[in-house]
Every structure is written in structure tokens, then in C-alpha cells.
Chains A and B, each alone.
Chain A
Amino acid sequence: MKRIKKEKRVKRISVIFCIIVYLYLFIPIAVIVANSFNATTSKPYLSWKGFTLDWYTKLWENTELLGSFGNTLIIAVVSTLLATVIGTLGAVGMYRYKFKGKGIINALLYIPVVIPEIVLGIALLTTFARGGVPRGMLTLIMAHVSFCVPFVIFNVRARLSGYDSSIEEASMDLGANRVVTFFEITIPMLTPGIAGGALLAFTLSIDDVIISYFVNGQTKTFPLKVMESIKSGVSPDVNALSALILIATILLVVFTQSGIFSGKHKEKSTRR
């Protein structure tokens, strides 16, 4: 009897504890959403002046803000594609072949993962400045590819470890050449790992602040636009856009959860 009572108490405490943690995680989100409905028009947009939906329409007139979000999307899509191709090829090559300097390449892969982002940011800035590369869209994409590739490789590599290479051999024995085998056999078998890696690369790119902050030149991404506006107060249309992005993201999660990356989803999300 006593034991059941005790278990009940433990359970109640753990439920309360979890609720507090979830509140901690979601309070800022609630603030963002609430402020997107705030009718205030004067900086720093902190006092509540009543409910309005205006910001969701005004948002579409703020070309600077939309432009920065457009940049973010372009950079995320291009660097995800590049990182996915380079990373997938690299993971397959490193898994299959022996070559000089493999250990060094492998060690270098961990650097962008463990080193503080600010160090990579200033290192890239220094390199671009020294090499005379004008900072902007191009340098942003290069920087994003550099920190996304390791994550793609780790995801694909996880998939490769349970990989049966006899199917590839069979394909070659049946007369398919190396290239055909790669696209028809290897890639399809690795798809869950590649998709997981690409999704991770995309989310890392879209949310990146620190590295972008150093290599952007005059180009503004959405996070950098937020950073700029923080000094004078974040206007409610930025909140409105954030809320819309969040909704889109949740829809994406629901969508992917219902079986696009079926079965392998957990592996992917634990890496995020």
C-alpha cells in the first residue's frame, strides 16, 4: 500500500517537473506569438497596445525583411544541396577506399562540430579577407557548406555501417558500370541517411547566426536582420514572420512524421 502511494507521489512530481521544463522551453515562443498581435507602433514595441492582425499584412510590405528571409532560404537550399552532394560522395569514398591522409581528413571533419562557432566565423572571415574574396552571398554559402558537410557525412556514415556491399558487387557482376551502380544501387540504399543529413544541414543553415555574422558583408540573412533590430527593439512584423516560420516548421514535422522518412526518423532526430 505504502509503496503504491509512494509511486504515485513520484509520478506526480515527475509530471510537474516536466510541465515546468516544457514551460521553460515554450515561454519565449508564447512571447513571440503574442507580440506578433501587438498593436503598438512605437519603439521598442514592448508595451501592449491591444490585439491586431495588421502585422501579418504589413509583413508583406516590408521588402527588406522579406528579402533577408529570401536570402536565408536561398543560402539554406544551395548550401544544403552542395553539402549533401559533397558529404554523400565523401562518406562513400571514405568508407570504401584506403588512401593517404585519410586520418587527417577524418580528424578535420570533427573540427566544425566541436569548435565554438565564433572561431570558425573569424577564421573564415580572415581567410576571405586575406584571399580578397568579396563578402556576401557567395561567402555565406561557402561558410554554411563548410559546417554542414560533417553532419551529412556522419548521417550517411551511420547508414553505411549496416550496409551490404554484396548487392553492389552483384550489380557490377551483372554488367553495370561503377557510375550506374552508384546511382541505381548505392544512392537508393543510403537515402534515409542522406535525407536525414540534408534535413539537419538545412536546419543548421537556416538558424545560423554566429558564423553568418562574420562572413556576410552587406548581405542580410533573417537571423542577422533580427540581430540588427534587437538594438532598437524587435518590431512585431519580425515576430509575425517568426510565428509563420514556426507554423510551417510544425507542419513539416507533422508531414515528415507521417511516414516520409518512415522508420529512420528517430535516428535523424536524435542527431539534431
Chain B
Amino acid sequence: MNRLEQKTVKVVVYDGEGSQSISAEESYEAISGLLNNGFTVARITSKSELGISNTTPQLVLGKFDGKQLNGAESGAGASTVRLSEFPSSDPNTVSEIAEQYRQEQDAFDHSSWKPWFPVIDYDRCTNCMQCLSFCLFGVYGVDDEQQIQVQNQDSCKTNCPACSRVCPEVAILFPKYKAGPINGAPVSQDDLDREKMKVDISSLLGGDVYSMLRNRSVQAQSRFSKERSSDKALNERKKCLDKLKQDIDIPAEVLMSLPSSDEILEKAEQAKLRGEEALAAIRNSPNSSKLGSS
């Protein structure tokens, strides 16, 4: 099972009928701690808001004084709800209680992944498949109607916004990116002009970044064969990586973790092929006028 398909737990801070009041300070300490440990929390003030689920295990914390909260632990979702006493003396321990519950339920461990992945703005996307053709890591795919999709979020390389830099329509967001419009800020005409300039980086680099890698690799091999200098090879690689880092903001860690040039080229060819196949399918579909228009 993909880790993103694992079940999660929900923590409910209950402050309503049948329990004693939780102060604002206690509530803040508890909820803040839970959020910082990756939990989803609902603060509710009525039993009717409990939203008992058959699928999501819920830990309900309140000042119940050992009493039952009628209706909370019965019905269709009874097995997924557990009442627990709110630790008034130390609200910070709420996170420990929740973590213990998560482990018992064998639920998703939030600390296992930093959520960094592209998000597509379909108001802007023209389904041109440049992102699909560019990404080496199989993050993108197409649905049954050949519409581009982000399919494998956890394959994305943390802090790498490179695919957004090759999108000609500024349609790819990374909500955690430092600057607009990639972070989701409104897109201005200046941004569009700048993006078009960035697309021209492709030609500057000789068609696309992978072509650049390929050419540099060939040139380097030619030189190495003459000079047989490993220092030259390292310098060449460093120059190439520095240029990529500067031009399309790929973090050094991502660049350094890339496979060998040959593997990159192979993956790039595969990605390009996926893009071409998707575009060909669009051209052959009855709705072809709606898609792939860029």
C-alpha cells in the first residue's frame, strides 16, 4: 500500500454538554501541540458535531470525569471512537496520548514525509504535457481523458520546483515555495513575461535541460579522453549543476542525488515518451480541441 493511502486518526477536543469546560489556554496548548505533531484536530462544542465515521478512528478528549458521553461510543462507528480524559494538569501530554493511539491504530506517521509536491491550476493549464515530459521522477501522469494530473506526490523531490519553471503558463504551484507566483500568489503580466523568458532558457541550454546535460556529457567525455583529468570532469559537472541550480532553482541536494548522466538521459527519454503518448492520445480523441492547446 502507498503510504499516502494509509489510514489516519482524527483527534477531537470536546468542550460541550456532558463535560467540564476546557479553558482557552488549555485548548491552545493541546491543539498547538497536536498540530505540531502532524495530527488533524477538531474542536467541537456539541455531540451532534462528533461526525462518527466508520472509517476514521477518532480520539475524543474531554473533561468527562470518568463519565460516558452518551451517543459518542455507540452506533455504526462505535469501534472507531475512543473517549479519553483531557490531561488538565499538563495539556502538552495530549500529543503523547494521540501518538499512542495512532500507533495502536497502525495509522499514518505524519513525521515520515514533508508534503512537497506540485499542484496544478487548471484555470491556467493547457495540458501541453511539458511537465510530464520534464519530470524524471514520475510525479505526473494522465487520467482516462488524457488530462494531466499529479499522481505520485510522494515521488517529488523536496524543495525542487523545477517543473514549475518549465511550465509556460505558470500553472504549476508549490504552495510551500518561497516566492510568487509559484507559491500560489496571483499571476501578473510581469510573471507571465518572466516565465516566457524562462522557457527560453530551454533554447539557451540547447533545446532542453536534458539536452544540455547530454551535450555537456559528450563534450566532457571528449575532453576527458584527451586530457584524462578527473578534476576536469568534476569541475565540468559542478559548472553544469551550478547553472541548473541558478536557472531553474533546483536545490543542490536534489542535483547531487541525481543518478548518472546516462540514467538521467534514459529517464528523460521515458518521460518525453510519456508526454508524447499523452499528446498523441489527445490528438486522436474526439475532444481534442479542448486539450493540449499550447
**A, B in one complex:** no
Q: Which residues of B contact A (CB under 8 A)?
A: none
Q: Which residues of A contact B (CB under 8 A)?
A: none
